[in-house]
Amino acid sequence: MALVKIASVDELQPGQMKRVRVEDADVALYNVGGRFYATSDLCTHAVASLTEGTLDGPVVTCPKHGGRFDVRTGAAVHLPAFSPLRTYEVHVRDGGIWIDADDL
């Protein structure tokens, strides 16, 4: 496991999200009620950055066509999206947010 720090805990308040570039991948990082989740930032329905959309609780809405995903599981929960997002296990320690670069 090759953990890489992608953000600090204090960078994201509950209800916020941000895009982070890790190696050659764009990762979307979310704070849902104080818990952190990470998915691919690219909508599986159309080429669009999810972090340019909206986050309502655990559901991110794509800005392009309104597809929705549960960021906790990556599941598509509203059409036109039907394929799940790639998710990444998040590790929080020493004030940092880390993911396994081997999973990218």
Q: Using omega within 30 degrees of 0 as the cis cutoff, is the peptide bond preceding 80 cis? A: yes
CATH class of the domain at 3-103: mainly beta
- The average pLDDT across 64-93 equals 96
Output the pLDDT for position 102: 80
**Is the pLDDT at 1 greater than 90, yes or no?**
no
The answer to whether residue 93 scores a pLDDT higher than 80 is yes
**pLDDT per position as a tens digit, 2-49:** 899 999 999 999 999 999 999 889 999 999 999 999 999 999 998 899
Task: Domain ranges for the chain, please list them.
Answer: 3-103
Strands across the sheet containing 35-40? 17-22, 25-32, 35-40, 87-88
Cβ 43 vs Cβ 50: under 8 Å: yes
Pick from 13, 5, 61, 32: nearest CA to 51: 61
- pTM summary value: 0.94
Q: How far apart are CA 78 and CA 50, in angstroms?
A: 14
